[in-house]
Amino acid sequence: MSGAATTHADDRSGRIGAGIRRFVAVPLRRQTYLNLAYLVLAFPLGLAYFVVVTIGVSVGIGFSLSIVGLPIGIPILLLTVGITLAVAGFERWLTAALLDLEIEPGTELDGKRHRDLLVSLLTEPKTWSSLIYVPVKFVLGVVSLVLVTTGLSTAVSMVMLPFYYDRPGLYVGVVSDRAPEIHQTLYLGWNYLLVGVEAVFTLGYWRISTLPEALLAAVLGVALLFATLHALNGLARVWGWFARTTLEDGYDPLAVVARSLSE
């Protein structure tokens, strides 16, 4: 019985040790920086995709609402779909290259006539999931930008505090126009009276002015840095799953062109 308990304790301590090693080793992994590059690129790429798709769809639909503009609106919409599929093909390659995923493209359409190929393309669900993926990329870009600019920049600033906290004229800490306050309010109704009780707690300012405080902030900054990197890795994994779900087996004109050139 004691032997089984010892084995269970050893397994538990081994899992805890492995978890600590995984947490601490995150800045040493190459994939961490590939994930970071993917997330940093998400904002400019997502913004460009969002603008192109939004303009194309809005202009195309705007022309298509009138009989006179219909011959112009439909080609604009079809061109937008084609650009979206090309962008989705690039995203398929980028995601596979940076996130180490296999996302297979689709290169075949049913039919031989142009009309049948177009119908096959427009009735393929992956065509429309690609159309959804492209503007949603902008959402990933915004979230990634917030995490990188707030989490990483704050963590790096805290880690570097011991080197600049005591510079003349420099204030290090929580800076605001007034001390933060927490208001606790309770209202009780009794007959025709409303009785209220309010308690105000003032937190005060936090200023780092000594080396021990700066070292403590640096230690907290290291923990925040590791936690932020893990959060970014988790976000990259979630987005990799989303990319595979929406883009895999979707028709890829870039892959078709590449295959024809290789042949």
pLDDT at residue 149, as a whole number: 83
The reply to whether 15 falls in a domain is yes
The reply to whether 152 falls in a domain is yes
Between CA 93 and CA 41 the distance in angstroms is 14
Between CA 52 and CA 63 the distance in angstroms is 17
The reply to whether 39 falls in a domain is yes
Q: CB-based contacts of 140: which residues, under 8 Å, 6+ apart? A: 39, 42, 46, 235, 239
pLDDT at residue 34, as a whole number: 93
Domain hosting 226: range is 2-166+211-262
- Is residue 255 pLDDT above 90, yes or no? no
Between CA 61 and CA 70 the distance in angstroms is 9
Domain tally for the chain?
A: 1
3-state DSSP assignment of residue 173: strand
The reply to whether 195 falls in a domain is no
- Is residue 24 pLDDT above 80, yes or no? no
Question: Confidence class of residue 197 from pLDDT cuts 50, 70 and 90?
Answer: low
Question: Confidence class of residue 98 from pLDDT cuts 50, 70 and 90?
Answer: very high
Q: What is the pTM of this model?
A: 0.73
The reply to whether 196 falls in a domain is no
The reply to whether 180 falls in a domain is no
- The least confident of 15-29, 45-59, 129-143, 208-222 is 15-29
If you write DSSP's letter for every residue of 96-131 in order, what string do you get? HHHHT---PPB---S-SSHHHHHHHHHT-HHHHHHH
pLDDT at residue 169, as a whole number: 58
The reply to whether 201 falls in a domain is no
pLDDT in tens, 40-85: 999 899 889 888 888 888 888 888 887 777 788 888 888 888 888 8
If you write DSSP's letter for every residue of 193-226 in order, what string do you get? EEEEEEEEEE---EE--SHHHHHHHHHHHHHHHH
- Mean pLDDT score of the chain: 77
